């Protein structure tokens, strides 16, 4: 199993550009989520999904969109990037029989100029 | 979900037990206590969780006080690889984890 994979590893954007951060898991997990981590801070939940077709907002959802058309993939879209979205983004997943144990991806470092 | 308070940093000698405290004085009856850690800039790693009984697994032990207002994560024989930020999280049946800033544990050789 590859676990949770994220692409790209690093991205530089200009203000106003759009992009999609990719997240995939091969563990057939129902639960998936996106977090951002700013320097010196803990992780903050952006959006999460409890299954295909179901998503909900976390602590800091503004400026981000998500969709969950398949169990495996949970992309995060930035429609119009802002410097305040410069951060490290982590995707995580967990299964319904062990939902407390989240498995995290390696992260995507995003710099918005 | 209840809020947690952790010391910002701690040191521990290699081979000794590392005891990381967490205060969650507003915890309610159905809320679990979870511990994760983040080594360097990697994604966080699950360690252990519990409701009211003490728990132990291959990584650590979790001691929850009888009134459940605080808990302690114990790494019995800390190694240099245990140097990380440790997060205590309180959660009840939802997926809305709030990580906070955690405790930065440095294991000293």
Interface test with B, best of A31, A100, A103 (most B CBs within 10 A): A100
Q: CB distance from B100 to chain A under 8 Å?
A: yes
Contacts of A39 (CB under 8 A, 6+ apart): none
Yes or no, beta carbons of B96 and A48 under 8 Å apart: yes
pLDDT values of chain B reduced to their tens digit, one per residue, 109 residues: 568 999 999 999 999 999 999 999 988 888 889 999 999 889 999 999 999 989 999 999 999 999 999 999 999 999 999 999 999 998 866 777 888 889 999 999 9
Chain A residues inside the 8 Å CB shell of B84: none
CA angle A4, A31, A71 (to 5 degrees): 70
Q: pLDDT per residue over A83-106, tens digit each?
A: 999 999 999 999 988 777 899 999
Considering only the beta carbons, identify the residue of B32, B46, B98 that sits closest to A59.
B98
Please report the pLDDT score of residue A96 as a whole number.
83
b or e along A10-39 (b: 16 or more beta carbons within 10 Å of the residue's beta carbon)?
ebebeeeeebebbbbbeeebbbbbbbbbee
Residues in a beta bridge with A66:
A76
Phi, psi of B83, rounded to the nearest 5 degrees: -60, 120
Instruction: Say how far apart CA B71 and CA B62 lie, in whole Å.
Output: 7
DSSP state of B95: S
Closest CA to A1 of A27, A37, A22: A27
């Amino acid at each position: 199993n590859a676990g949770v994979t994220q692409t790209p590893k690093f991205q530089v954007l200009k203000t106003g550009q759009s992009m999609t951060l990719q997240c995939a898991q091969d563990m057939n997990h129902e639960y998936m989520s996106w977090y951002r981590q700013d320097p010196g801070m803990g992780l903050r939940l952006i959006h999460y999904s409890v299954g295909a077709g179901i998503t909900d907002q976390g602590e800091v959802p503004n400026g981000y969109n998500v969709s969950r058309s398949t169990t495996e993939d949970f992309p995060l879209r930035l429609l119009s990037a802002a410097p305040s979205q410069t951060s490290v983004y982590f995707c995580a997943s967990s299964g319904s029989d062990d939902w407390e144990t989240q498995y995290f991806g390696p992260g995507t470092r995003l710099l918005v100029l | 979900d209840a809020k947690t308070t952790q010391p910002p940093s701690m040191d521990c000698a290699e081979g000794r037990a590392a005891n990381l405290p967490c205060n969650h004085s507003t915890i309610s009856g159905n809320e679990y206590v979870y511990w994760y850690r983040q080594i360097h800039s990697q994604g966080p790693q699950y360690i252990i969780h519990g409701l009211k009984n003490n728990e132990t697994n291959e990584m650590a032990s979790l001691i929850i006080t009888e009134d459940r207002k605080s808990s302690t994560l114990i790494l019995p024989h800390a190694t240099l690889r245990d140097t990380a930020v440790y997060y205590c999280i309180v959660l009840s049946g939802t997926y809305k984890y709030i990580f906070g800033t955690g405790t930065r544990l440095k294991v000293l050789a």
